[in-house]
Structure 1
Amino acid sequence: MAKDGIHPQWYPEAKVYCNGELVMTVGSTKPELHVDVWSGNHPFYTGTQKIIDTEGRVERFRRKYGMGGAKKSTGGDK
């Protein structure tokens, strides 16, 4: 059994706001939550994610593990 008086107030219908707009309700210890990013506007979930690669790291990774159009060199041309 939980002890009385040691747990925070629980709000089963806490409202989550993003940019001033109600986006969902969740259970929380606060009645309102204000967030900058949620699954409805996060680039990973919306499919608009872009990989920024200024140093060629992504391409090097893809070549190393065979995940891309570039073929792995055999080591003859260094």
Structure 2
Amino acid sequence: MKPEIHPNYEAVAVTCSCGNVFQTRSTLCAPLATDVCNECHPFYTGKQKVLDTGGRVQKFADRFGMFGAKK
């Protein structure tokens, strides 16, 4: 590899809007701010809700369920 053409890859602090702070490495070489992290994202915290608002799944099955049926 050629010397002096690659950016610095330094440890930076990442701060989430929930207050969680963790370390990672980046070529940005400046502190980062994020909106969500693994501590507050609904998928990782188990607080994610799956809603079938207005029966959308059943409506889809009624309209297109016959296409996959075998005769």
* TM-score bracket, shorter-length normalisation: 0.5 to 0.7
Higher helix share: 2
Percent identity over the alignment is 44
Higher relative contact order (CA 8 A, sep 6+): 2
Which residues of structure 1 form unaligned runs of 5+? 62-78
Aligned residue in 1 for 2:45: 46
What are the Cα deviations for residues 42-69 of structure 1, in whole angstroms up to 9, with x where unaligned?
A: 00110110123324344578xxxxxxxx
TM-score (norm 1): 0.58
Structure 2 counterpart of 1:14, from 12, 33, 36:
12
TM-score (norm 2): 0.63
Aligned length: 59
Structure 1 residue runs of 4+, over 3 Å off? 57-61
Which residues of structure 2 form unaligned runs of 5+? 61-71
